[in-house]
A and B are shown apart, each in its own frame.
Chain A
Amino acid sequence: MWEKRPVLLLILATAAILVGTVVTMVLPFVWVNTEADRIASVTPYTPLQQEGRDLYIREGCNNCHTQTVRPLVTEVLRYGDYSKSGEFVYDRPFLWGSKRTGPDLARLGGKYPDSWHYKHMDSPRSMVPRTNMPDYAWMKTNLLDPEMVRRKMQVLGFPYTEEQIKALVGKNEIDALVAYLQKLGSDIPWRVATQATMVGELKNPFVRDHQAMEEGREIYKKNCASCHGEHLDGDIAPPLNGLTQTDAALFETLYNGLPAGGMPGFASLGASKIWQVVSYLKYHDHEKGQH
């Protein structure tokens, strides 16, 4: 009887543990990361990006940020296309995370211009006043070690060129981190795929509506001021105080963003809020500060 025979108990317990282990942990290797879920456009990290990824790990960014978008309506709206298995084949370790104290970063690449990230990493609260993300300005003073990065690329078996290694000389840790952040989720062309083509006539329902401009001002402060400046006078993005576009053209810019120039899309705000911002931008008297 096993209650009297420790070795038998150990063997039986090991067997009990191994059944579920083999089925749910060993067996999946047959399907995962094979040709079946390969995505041709997904590429390994460059030396700079890989170093950035290792810094992300070192600083434990994964304690506040996740990196998987689930196929749920609101999540896709908020972050972008849901994550596919084939997008992670070069990730050692995986960085999906388990807690969203900050937003998901799986689709971050291309959302902001580099300058936004530099400023944000320096001092997140200068961009987003009530965030609890720590400052990482100190990382700018640490330079990269090109030979170490080369070793890493060799261990990982990722392709690299001598130029890429040489280019690391003089680069600091934030340079690497930003390069990594810009790669996240951008190997598949989901931004282009989700661009909406405006159909029908776009008509601003608010125009000079005071209430709407007031709301628009609030929305602007929360979503736009960090790039375009508190008073629309420009910062890392151009000033918006002399706009000449039509309401419809502005709507389209805000809805889809200008991905090539680093202006994020704001489709998730919804049409009504976008029109309120358009009204605020166009019809508020920004010099006198009144509607």
Chain B
Amino acid sequence: MEKPEYNQAIVRSFVNWSIVWGLVAVLVGVIVSFQMIYPDLNFPPYLTFGRLRPLHTNAGIYGWGVGTIFALFLYIVQRLCKTGLWSNKLASFQLWFFNATIIAAAVTLLLGYTTSKEYHELEWPIDVMVVVLWVAFAINIIMTIIKRKEEQMYISLWYMMAAIVGVAILYLVNAAAVPVSLFKSYSAYAGTNDANVHWWFGHNAVAMALTAPPLAMFYYFLPKSTGVPIYSHRLSIISFWSLIFMYLWTGAHHLLWTPVPDWIQTLAMAFSVMLIAPSWGSVINGYLSMNGQWQQMKENYLVKFLILGITFYGLQTLQGPMQAIRTFSAFIHYTDWIPGHIHMGTLGWVSLIAFAGIYFLVPRIYGREVYSIPLANLHFWLVVVGQLIYSVSLWVAGVMQAGMWNAVNADGSLTYTFMETMVEMYPYWWARAVGGVIYLAGVLVFIYNIWMSVRKGQPATATATATAAAGSAGRA
């Protein structure tokens, strides 16, 4: 019985708290989507669109995204290493410091303390907190891996370690600033340099926080939920190394046609297109693992979450490279198309994998079976439909907007004034808000289901405990 040495309590707390922040993120998302339709919903000074939108993105990426990374990694690392955490004290510190950081982030953003850099808005004192938090997490994961009882490190651990160093480098470099006061600092880089450093960070935050960690989870939870191993180990190796090598070249695809030197833009464009290969390496590996097991899509709700999740990842990594091509970027950059892209990634890919991971964990961390599979299915359909309404309506909106911005009359003058194009967006913004409300309903069903599992779920069966004890996943 090696069970007692696993630290389940910390996983449980991280799951609970990341769900709280996930709910905040979705709720604030719905609020800002309505502010875009009804500007009267701005309540200055704290609750205006300009301050709430960063709160939404930060709660989503750092509260829900990083929160679930902490929760699921702390679980996975113990299982794959067949040993408890290196330090339970450090993990407890990490938990309360995580919540303190998210609360400090939320409060300061509402107070207007912001650097304005997208996904890196937090001012320097909170940056320091984020760094401490990440170091605490990194040490615990790496030390646990070092003292592991299983010689071979499974794929998930590679992605985890890459994410740990990747985030550290990106965050530190982009955070460089000179403080003026406790809540105001100026970037260490100016103008075009600042833009280039920032989007090197920005795109690789996507790589190291919203791609590598969910891939680590996917590679663990897919074999765990289905009982089938990952199709090809060699494909995993190739896609891992090429993914982490190529991502770093692509930041400037957010800056096409701007004053950033052309050759950087061209490199970014080329590497973005090449990124399709490693991205789809994982997608295909996931699909082929399911060969002969596709009936599980019907029988096993976890598989639905995981396979739809990786499917959205596949679509995301085709759409992304397309957006990274100069001619296409000229058209859709700055339009509503982009939030459509983002939310297929965050609501579709990242969140579906996190939901699957949490459902998988319920019997193992709460000792209770999931309360209701039909509710889990309802949750699945609400979030998938909500997200599709969101993304599809904004893709249509973006194409229309781009078309109108670029329309010219026979004499070479512009066909539409800015406002003539802007008012056409309202119906689509409505559709997006409706999609958001449906997604929120899905999240509420999820929370209810987890809550009821804890309160009224059947005691966890032997299978759950048995798989829990079985150790590493797949062919590792």
Report A's interface with B, CB cutoff 8 A.
3-4, 6-7, 9-10, 13-14, 16-21, 23-25, 28-29, 31-33, 37, 54, 57-64, 66, 68, 70-75, 77-78, 83-85, 87-104, 124-125, 128, 130-136, 138, 148, 151-152, 155-156, 222-223, 267-273
Contact = CB atoms under 8 A, between A and B. Distances in A.
Nearest first, the 7 closest Cβ-Cβ pairs linking A and B are: A270-B413, A60-B50, A88-B191, A20-B248, A85-B259, A70-B257, A20-B249
Given A25-B197, A31-B261, A152-B184, 16 more contacts: A6-B161, A10-B161, A13-B162, A25-B196, A25-B251, A33-B192, A58-B114, A63-B50, A68-B258, A73-B408, A93-B115, A93-B187, A94-B195, A96-B195, A104-B334, A222-B419
A17 B195 contact: no
Contacts of A130: 419, 422-423
B198 interface: yes
A94 to B, nearest CB: 4
B445 interface: no
Interface in B28-42: 35-39, 42
Nearest to A72: B330
B183 to A, nearest CB: 10
A25 B169 CA distance: 12
Nearest to A89: B191
Contact of B187 (A92, A133, A268, A269): A92
Given A24-B264, A134-B50, A94 B181 contact: no
Nearest to B44: A138
A59 B51 contact: yes
Contacts of B417: 222-223, 269
Contacts of A24: 196, 200, 248-249, 251-252, 264, 267-268
Contacts of A62: 50, 116
Contact of A138 (B45, B53, B151, B414): B45
Nearest to B169: A17
27 contacts: A4-B153, A6-B157, A7-B146, A16-B244, A20-B271, A24-B267, A28-B261, A32-B191, A32-B192, A33-B193, A59-B50, A61-B50, A63-B49, A68-B259, A91-B191, A92-B186, A93-B117, A97-B334, A99-B336, A131-B419, A134-B39, A134-B42, A135-B39, A148-B181, A155-B186, A222-B419, A273-B413
A88 B259 contact: yes
Given A13-B161, A20-B246, A60-B114, A6 B142 contact: yes
A158 to B, nearest CB: 11
B53 A269 contact: no
Contacts of A88: 190-192, 195, 259
Nearest to B146: A6
Contacts of A6: 142, 145-146, 153, 157, 161
B314 interface: no
A88 B112 CA distance: 24
Nearest to A83: B259
Which residue, of B39, B178, B191, B408, has the highest number of chain A Cβ atoms within 10 A?
B191
Given A13-B161, A60-B53, A28 B268 contact: no
A90 to B, nearest CB: 7
Contacts of B420: 222
A59 B414 contact: no
Contacts of A138: 44-45
A84 B259 contact: yes
A135 B36 CA distance: 13
Given A32-B192, A59-B48, A72-B330, A93 B405 contact: no
A131 B39 contact: yes
- What DSSP secondary structure best describes chain A's contact surface? helix
Contacts of B255: 96
Contacts of B414: 74, 77-78, 268-270
A60 B254 contact: no
Contact of B116 (A28, A57, A100): A57
A71 to B, nearest CB: 6
A256 B276 CA distance: 48
Which residue, of B42, B151, B161, B192, has the highest number of chain A Cβ atoms within 10 A?
B192
B169 A135 contact: no
Contact of A10 (B165, B334, B412): B165
A84 to B, nearest CB: 6
A32 B259 CA distance: 9
Given A60-B116, A131-B422, A98 B338 contact: yes
Contacts of A63: 49-50, 53-54
Given A58-B114, A130-B423, A272 B409 contact: yes
B192 A85 contact: yes
Contact of A60 (B37, B49, B178, B191): B49
B406 interface: yes
Contacts of A272: 409, 411, 413
Contact of A132 (B37, B145, B195, B271): B37
Given A23-B249, A60-B114, A92-B194, A99 B186 contact: no
Contact of A29 (B193, B249, B257): B193
